[in-house]
Chain A
Amino acid sequence: MSLLKSREAILALAIVALLAVIASRFPAFITPRNLAGVLTDTSPLILLALGQMAVILTKCIDLSVAANLALCGMIAALMDGMGVPLPLILLAVIALGAGLGAVNGLLVWRLGIPSIVVTLGTMTIYRGAIFLLTGGAWINAHQMSDAFKAFPRTVVAGLPVMAWIAIAIVAGFALLMLRTPLGRAFYAVGGNPHAAVYTGISVGRTQFAAFVLAGALAGLTGYLWVARYAVAYVDIAGGFELDVVAACVIGGIAIAGGAGSVVGAVMGALFLGIIKNALPVVGISPFWQMAISGSAILIAIAFNARANREAGRIILKQAEHRT
């Protein structure tokens, strides 16, 4: 019974139910090969959801992740065009992503501007920077080297490298969240900032670290995205930041901070990823697709709201009943 109460368990059940419904209309969807494809396709969302989770835990939000991804992806494609070797490109985009995240983090930490405003601004700036870099031109498949495009697709032990990267980072992130002072600080800062200060945790510095982490992941994902779809232009991953936030919300990351798990964020991302991949094959009108995605988010939020209310302590039982 207590297992059923855990949000992760409910979400896991929802995913299984979702897969069952899809399989009843399109059985080939749940073949291991296709599911591996879905996991690969959802990898960018998983990576960004993890970074976003760290940010949301600290009571912030990062709307610039998709723009960060697009800018780092474009830089990766440009570097490839200049003949820079792949390992160097990977290091560069991760560093650049972390740097872009640090800009957000510094503005939030040092100037105390609300994160939603900061990242709304940097989101536009990063997209604009891509335009300035390229003049709006695209970088296309034939302009990228084969090694650059092949890396995320290379199949190792049955899964493409892209999926393995996601899996490795999920494991690393779980370790970070559960076993390191920084991971615990994210929860502490979001759960009770004042208490966190008394225990010697700097709220601003922790938020800064969360933004840097989210930025670095967005940078890495930028390369993966561009290499996978073999195209880079200003608008890639347009609106993707909302998917990322939605994955976190569905995964039970409390938007007010301090609560949520890595498993939740990953499952939230998988849930959205399955819907995105299944809708084209189950033959649902595109007009319904958006409504279905939206409903999933609302239902998840309703769940969260209910769970949070029950967690509250009722001090005056009589007063509670009277209202």
Chain B
Amino acid sequence: MSILTKALTTAAMATALIAGSAQAQDDMRIALVVKALGIGFFEAANKGAQEAAAELGGVEVIYTGPTDTTAEGQIEVINSLIAQRVDAIAVSANDTDALVPTLKKAMDRGITVISWDSGVAPEGRLMQLNPSSSPLIGNMIIKLAADNLPEGGEVAVLSATTTSTNQNTWIEEMNKVAGNYPNVKVVGTVYGDDLADKSYREAQGLMQTYPDLKAIIAPTSVGIVAAAQAVTDAGKVGQVNVTGLGLPSEMAGHVKSGASKSFAIWNPIDLGYSATMIAYHLAKGDAKAEPGATISIGRMGEVTLDDNTEAAMADPFVYDASNIDAFSSIF
């Protein structure tokens, strides 16, 4: 595998050199391929990518993607990028496997391919940049609850469905580190099935079952909004804090009402910035995408690749009353 990776990297370097000699004045062109155009999250990622380009200098970021979230649309976009001979492609994929043949073709032509946010299978990219990692998320959601509970107390988890892989992994990781927050007692986990009405009822149920409940942790965007509304309707704002993972645009009202003191989610600006940084270093050839390698990501520090050549960017970013307005218009 590492021979192949080396060969590919060499090929990438060679192409970069050839391209460089052929079009000497040209900037390095990095394509940021997103799931679909017009989504606030990705527009914000583009903002970060532009920031990275300005910081690096001599880099042009091509922000592109299909008009709807389909793999076919992305394949078309990537094919046209291959034809334009860009230097690197950083893609947030609509399908793990469907893009692999096209991306392989891109790598065969010497284009550096990485995936970020939503990954592709290992054979279709050099590395995958995850916005965070399950242990970091698991730790963050309980930390958010604990930070607002100096005296400690009972907290409960409102998850999505019983079979949601993401949520189950995060809750598992949360329970692993629960010992570090001895004041916080996790009293139960309920499932709102990512339906607004069921999540609302489950949150109501939690407040009835545990009258001393101090916080509800909802690591799902539907659940956190529904729980915040249920707390507001029960007149328990200030008594029960709702936290977890949500989107700033959806949570803005609840942060202002005080139902949620803070919550977390990845920062798309940082994510676009880091993806561009990594694509730059790999395409330039001063970093290698192999297990154990570390790649610098500018102001975000550095990332370390694991055995699947995946890397986690950072802790989820915390949103509260101080920064919610700035982000609620973005995503």
Contact = CB atoms under 8 A, between A and B. Distances in A.
Interface of A: 26, 28, 34, 37, 41, 135, 138, 140-143, 153, 225, 229-231, 235-240, 276-277, 279-281, 283, 286-287
B191 A141 contact: no
B200 interface: yes
A231 B226 CA distance: 8
Interface stretch (B25-33, B56-64, B100-108, B205-213): B205-213
Given A237-B197, A238-B195, A283-B209, A141 B229 contact: yes
B299 interface: no
Nearest to A44: B197
Nearest to B230: A229
Interface in B207-262: 208-209, 225-226, 228-229, 233, 249-254, 256-257
Contacts of A283: 209
Contact of B229 (A26, A135, A230, A239): A230
B49 to A, nearest CB: 22
Contacts of A142: 252-254, 256
Contact of A41 (B201, B228, B250): B201
A280 B201 contact: yes
A280 B226 CA distance: 15
Contacts of B206: 280
B203 to A, nearest CB: 9
A286 B190 contact: yes
12 contacts: A41-B201, A140-B252, A142-B252, A142-B253, A237-B197, A277-B201, A280-B190, A280-B201, A280-B205, A280-B209, A281-B205, A281-B209
B162 interface: yes
Contacts of A286: 162, 190-191
B161 to A, nearest CB: 9
Contacts of B177: none
Contacts of A141: 225, 228-229, 253-254, 257
Contact of B249 (A26, A138, A230): A138
A64 B191 CA distance: 26
Contacts of B253: 140-143, 230
A177 B200 CA distance: 34
Nearest to A142: B253
B162 to A, nearest CB: 5
Given A153-B233, A229-B197, A283-B209, A140 B190 contact: no
3 closest cross-chain pairs (CB), A and B? A280-B205, A142-B253, A141-B253
B202 A280 contact: yes
A138 B205 contact: no
B298 interface: no
B8 interface: no
B77 interface: no
A41 B196 CA distance: 12
Contacts of A236: 196-197
A230 B222 CA distance: 12
A229 B99 CA distance: 38
A250 B245 CA distance: 38
A287 B189 CA distance: 12
Contact of A229 (B200, B202, B209): B200
A280 B197 CA distance: 13
Contacts of A143: 253
A268 B196 CA distance: 22
B204 interface: yes
Contacts of A138: 249-250
Contacts of B249: 138, 140
B201 A231 contact: no
Contacts of A231: 196, 225-226, 229, 250
A143 B206 CA distance: 27
Nearest to A283: B209
Nearest to A238: B195
Contacts of A237: 197
Given A141-B253, A141-B257, 14 more contacts: A140-B251, A141-B254, A142-B254, A143-B253, A153-B233, A230-B253, A231-B229, A238-B195, A239-B195, A279-B205, A281-B209, A283-B209, A286-B191, A287-B162
Contact of B208 (A135, A276, A281): A281
Contacts of A238: 195
Interface string B138-160: 00000000000000000000000
Contacts of B256: 142
A236 to B, nearest CB: 6
Contact of B225 (A135, A140, A240): A140
Nearest to A239: B195
A309 B208 CA distance: 44
Interface string B249-281: 111111011000000000000000000000000
